[in-house]
Amino acid sequence: MSLKTVFLSICIVLLCADSFSQVTSESDSIVDKKYLLMHLQTLSSDAFEGRKTGAKGGVKTRKYIINQFYNLGLKPLNETYEQPFFFVHQRNEYKAANILGWIEGTEKPDSFIVISAHYDHEGIKKGIIYNGADDNASGVSALFSFAEYFKKHPPKHSVILAAFDGEEFGLKGSKYFVNNSIVPLNKIKLNINLDMISRSANNELFVVGTRYNAFLKQLIVNFKPSGNFKLTAGHDGADQQENWTYASDHTSFYKKNIPFLYFGVEDHEDYHMPSDDFENINPEFYVQAVKTIISVFSRIDTSFVH
């Protein structure tokens, strides 16, 4: 990072800090924006080396997530928070690990909702770090906001917060999770998957999966986000847009007939580029997105039919 970049980064952070204050009153009750952005900035910093599965940066990310889960009072789903596994890709063997924490539901402890986000990204290629701020430090940091929210608003269903590994190699972590589930699969009622939720030129967050579930469809149709934030159902094969049913970790749940909602944005010019950096996310959109997803969760949690 050059001096000029450092200077620009500081300016952007200061500018962002100013614009954050404008959304304070609206979002503070659900999302602590400073905390949310601090995690995103940290996980997408050069120190995490692009979070490649099994590499130094990937292992460092695991430790960071475990620390957060522990500090937020989540219980480990396994004996520890880690669900280790390995896979072979192009003759290379990768040691991977999902990080899984959970909180017991107050009313339906035997029914589980899995809220997931993959923490791995592209790592370092030809000496260049792919920081993956939107993809998917944004989703992982949102998991921490969920855990923070649960401290004041305990969920009625049991909730598993799953930070999956190996997504960039073909959804490896979520596949391993559903094929070696620590909780019986028939007790998992829903997957809410977060992958790329921190920027949108149109102020539009997509929600995929309502096509396959009438209850979720009705719930999203009736959901009205605040301000000019758009939550649009689609990208699930029933419209003219690209079908995202198989685009990220929710696919692994879909294939096991578990309902899912996937939240994400359109691909952007920094998608899978070294420029997917903290400086290029949209903090206001991101805070609104996380707030919206938590609100959708909350409605599902109070009314989900089994």
Nearest to 263 by CA among 201, 200, 305, 215: 200
Q: How far is the CB of 139 from Zn ion (least distance, A)?
A: 7
How many residues bind Zn ion, per CB under 5 A? 3
Contact 51, 120 (CB under 8 A): yes
Instruction: Say how many CA atoms lie within 13 Å of 222 toward its Cβ.
Output: 9
Residue choice 120, 135, 165, 249 for contact with Zn ion (CB under 5 A): 135
The C-alpha atoms of residue 270 and residue 42 are separated, in whole angstroms, by 18
Q: How far is the CB of 119 from Zn ion (least distance, A)?
A: 10
Q: Does 165 bind Zn ion (CB under 5 A)?
A: no
Contact 120, 195 (CB under 8 A): no
Name the residue nearer to Zn ion (CB basis): 168 or 236: 168
Q: How far is the CB of 190 from Zn ion (least distance, A)?
A: 20
Residue choice 148, 195, 270, 284 for contact with Zn ion (CB under 5 A): 195
How does strand 75-76 pair with strand 92-103? antiparallel
The C-alpha atoms of residue 203 and residue 285 are separated, in whole angstroms, by 7
Q: Is the peptide bond before 179 cis (omega within 30 degrees of 0)?
A: no
Q: Does 136 bind Zn ion (CB under 5 A)?
A: yes
Q: Does 292 bind Zn ion (CB under 5 A)?
A: no
- The residue range among 93-101, 176-184, 188-196, 265-273 that interacts with Zn ion, by the rule CB under 5 A, is 188-196
> 64 to 93, contacts with Zn ion by CB under 5 A?
none
Q: How far is the CB of 244 from Zn ion (least distance, A)?
A: 11
The residues of the shown chain that bind Zn ion, judged by CB under 5 A, are 135-136, 195
